[in-house]
Amino acid sequence: MNAQFDHYLIIDDSKISRQVLASALTKLGVNQQSVLQAASVDDAEAQWNVLDKTHGIVFLDIILPGHGGGWGLLSRFKKEWPDVPIIVLSSRSDSQSVFQARDLGASYYLIKPFTIEKLQLALQKLAARKGEFPGNLSRIGGDE
């Protein structure tokens, strides 16, 4: 897979989760220098300021330390830049979490742990519909 986005912002308080996702992106052809990482709400807001919002994508863990956590970040980011695709990453597979992510503007919901194939599928689907997020959130991941 060729890289479809110029910047990839990974927001997750788990260093291991960030490293695993960054490694998976590299295996999919993404240049590591285009991957930004944040471990908290404050880090994420700082990285958000350098993200190319016309050609960037965000991976957001919803359980995140800091004011408002991942849910708050999702809401703020989507209000400011509604066309930036945001893939929510979570171990929560309940319908309420998926619906909340959709209602706040998430483009995709990946259930941890997910395979590199499911990550690739999510990226391909988002790249194909760049700029047109009709609100039909897709949910993939886990052992479905």
> pLDDT (tens digit, 9 = 90+) per residue, 26-82?
999 999 999 999 999 889 888 887 776 677 899 999 998 888 889 999 999 899 888
Residue 140 has pLDDT above 90, yes or no: no
Is the whole model's pTM more than 0.75, yes or no? yes
User: What does the block give as tokens for 47?
Assistant: 């990285």
What is 7-116's CATH number? 3.40.50.2300
Asked if the model's pLDDT at residue 84 lies above 60, the reply is: yes
Among 36, 35, 100, residue whose Cα is nearest residue 63: 100
Question: Which whole-number Å values give the CA distances from 101 to 2, 19, 50, 126, 127, in the listed order?
Answer: 27, 23, 24, 16, 19
CA angle centred on 47, ends 84 and 34, rounded to 5°: 75
